[in-house]
């Protein structure tokens, strides 16, 4: 199972390298959305510091959603997904590997570039660690939840709109807790509680979401 998962992750990363424009689109969208807010609300430093965690988290959430539609679509179109479902490896392991590859391509770059975006909001440097850690724990949860919605809407006409309606309400707790951890640190309080909640959500999502994705894929391909 580990060899199968490693093979799927390597395959998806190789395909992503061949389609660099898709990766660049999500990253550029994150940068543009996060950069527009200072232009819209003005250059008042205290206001920018106050809205920085929420804006960066919302931009990361929307950017991760941008690539969800392509998570299973290409494999479904060329028949690869059916071969994966019929293979010897459990479908949950296949789903987990594809979600991991999706996060490495679309989520990890957002985490890496977040401190640069925070510079536009004059966010204090001691908060960068909390921001990065919250995104590092929260963005995989977004990918896992989004993958369930992507599997449920696979092959449906207008699936992109339905996908947004399905996953956005489930993203709200992650958004609130993730942005709240940075707000707690900015207020001089310990953000450990929020970060631990994010870690717990990640553990629960990693344990159960792949099997929910596997069930949704079987339904969508039948």
- Crossing angle between the packed helical segments 20-41 and 2-18, to the nearest 10 degrees: 70
What is the rounded end-to-end Cα distance, in angstroms, of the chain? Answer: 24
**What residue segments make up the domains of the chain, in order of their start?**
2-221
* pLDDT at position 21 over 80: no
Which of 102, 110, 125 is CA-nearest to residue 209?
102
* pLDDT value of residue 142: 93
Cα-only R_g, the chain: 18
- How confident is the model over 143-165, as pLDDT tens digits? 999 999 888 888 777 667 788 88
Q: Indicate the pLDDT class of residue 74, thresholds 50, 70 and 90.
A: confident
* pLDDT value of residue 158: 65
* pLDDT at position 15 over 90: no
Q: Indicate the pLDDT class of residue 90, thresholds 50, 70 and 90.
A: confident
* pLDDT at position 136 over 90: yes
* pLDDT at position 206 over 90: yes
How far apart, in whole angstroms, are the C-alpha atoms of residue 66 and residue 93? 24
How far apart, in whole angstroms, are the C-alpha atoms of residue 24 and residue 165? 25
CA distances from 71 to 7, 121, 160, 197 (A): 16, 32, 12, 27
* pLDDT at position 215 over 80: yes
User: Which residues are CB-neighbours of 79 under 8 A, at least 6 positions away?
Assistant: none
Rounded to 5 degrees, what are φ and ψ at 218?
Answer: -65, -40
**What average pLDDT does this structure show over 111-129?**
89
Contacts made by residues 42-48, CB under 8 angstroms, sequence distance 24+: 45/122, 48/120, 48/121, 48/122
For 124, the token pair is 């204090």
Structural contact between residues 91 and 214, judged by C-beta atoms closer than 8 angstroms: yes
How far apart, in whole angstroms, are the C-alpha atoms of residue 114 and residue 43? 19
- How confident is the model over 51-60, as pLDDT tens digits? 999 999 999 9
């Amino acid at each position: 199972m580990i060899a199968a998962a490693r093979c799927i992750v390597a395959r998806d990363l190789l395909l992503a390298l061949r389609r660099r424009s898709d990766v660049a689109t999500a990253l550029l969208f994150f940068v543009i959305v996060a950069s527009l807010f200072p232009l819209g609300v003005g250059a008042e430093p205290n206001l920018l510091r106050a809205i920085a965690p929420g804006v960066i988290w919302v931009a990361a959430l929307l950017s991760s959603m941008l690539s969800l539609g392509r998570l299973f679509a290409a494999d479904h179109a060329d028949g690869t997904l059916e071969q994966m479902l019929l293979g010897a490896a459990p479908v949950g392991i296949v789903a987990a590997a594809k979600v991991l590859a999706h996060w490495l391509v679309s989520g990890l770059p957002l985490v890496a570039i977040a401190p640069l975006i925070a510079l536009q909001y004059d966010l204090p440097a001691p908060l960068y660690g909390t921001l990065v850690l919250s995104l590092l724990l929260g963005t995989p949860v977004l990918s896992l939840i989004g993958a369930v919605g992507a599997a449920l809407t696979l092959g449906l006409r207008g699936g992109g709109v339905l996908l947004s309606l399905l996953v956005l309400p489930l993203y709200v707790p992650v958004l609130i807790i993730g942005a709240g951890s940075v707000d707690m640190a900015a207020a001089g309080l310990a953000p450990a509680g929020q970060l631990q909640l994010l870690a717990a959500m990640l553990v629960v999502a990693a344990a159960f979401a792949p099997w929910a994705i596997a069930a949704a894929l079987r339904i969508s391909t039948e």
